[in-house]
Amino acid sequence: MTLLLGLLASYLIGSIPSGYVIGKIVKGVDIRKEGSGNVGATNVFRVIGKGWGIGVLMFDILKGVVATSVVPLFLSEASLSSFTNALLMGLAAIAGHTWTLWLGFRGGKGVATSLGVFLAIAPKASLGALLVWMALFAWKRYVSLGSLGAAATFPIWVVAFYSDEEYLGILFLISLGLGLFTFYTHRENLRRLREGTEKRLI
């Protein structure tokens, strides 16, 4: 499989709109027209049910893991390192989740799929960021606040755990870019957090 085919496959894997599909199958609704209008796990949790929301979360994480860990196994591109191949496939999956082909290039915010990608590439840093998410969510019960905190601290975890790796530079730059991207996709959440109108999950 060539690199371009791998990127396409990873993008299509990321593009699977699990939240939209669950909304249609379980309740016959377009999740984009319910609740917050987002197709991610949090909106499914609120609109369809807790179990379905957790299921969507797990599936969206799995998309990142598969794109990063499985797709590169079929690549025949020898000029790139295994780390670079995995990273590129993961970024394609995140793009697919955020701009899904099947929903007019509108999708989720990319957090769950990003977690799956970096659990495969940088598991220690990902678990550190996940702990930040859990702490912030336990404190305030805002999913968005947890996601923003995790994204903001992820580069710190990368440096803490991977300072001796030769790929630290690119991983650190990607982690910074991912953080900025997460703040961009959560810009409305940020506004609501400032205004005190953001909804708690539970």
SS3 state of residue 110: coil
Task: Give the H or E element holding residue 99.
Answer: none
Count the neighbouring beta carbons within 10 Å of the beta carbon of residue 40.
26
The pLDDT tens digits for 163-199 are: 999 999 999 999 999 999 999 999 999 999 999 999 9
pTM over 0.75: yes
| Residue 98, both tokens | 């955020």
Q: Give the position of tokens 């982690």.
A: 175
Per-residue pLDDT at 193: 95
Q: Which residues contact 41 (CB under 8 A, 6 or more apart)?
A: 19, 53, 54, 56, 57, 60, 108, 112
Per-residue pLDDT at 2: 86
pLDDT level of residue 78 (50, 70, 90 thresholds): low
Give yes or no for a contact between 135 and 145, defined as CB atoms under 8 angstroms apart. Answer: no
* Residue in 110, 121, 185 with CA at minimum distance from that of residue 157: 121
The pLDDT tens digits for 8-47 are: 999 999 999 999 999 999 999 999 999 989 999 999 999 9
Q: Which residues contact 18 (CB under 8 A, 6 or more apart)?
A: 55, 56, 59, 60, 63
Asked whether residue 7 carries a pLDDT value surpassing 70, the answer given is: yes
Average pLDDT over residues 69-86: 82
Per-residue pLDDT at 93: 98
Mean of pLDDT over the chain: 94
pLDDT level of residue 70 (50, 70, 90 thresholds): very high
Per-residue pLDDT at 119: 96
Average pLDDT over residues 131-154: 96
Per-residue pLDDT at 77: 57
Average pLDDT over residues 110-115: 95
pLDDT level of residue 74 (50, 70, 90 thresholds): confident
Give yes or no for a contact between 110 and 94, defined as CB atoms under 8 angstroms apart. Answer: yes
* CA distance readout (Å), 202 to 42, 68, 139, 143: 11, 32, 12, 10
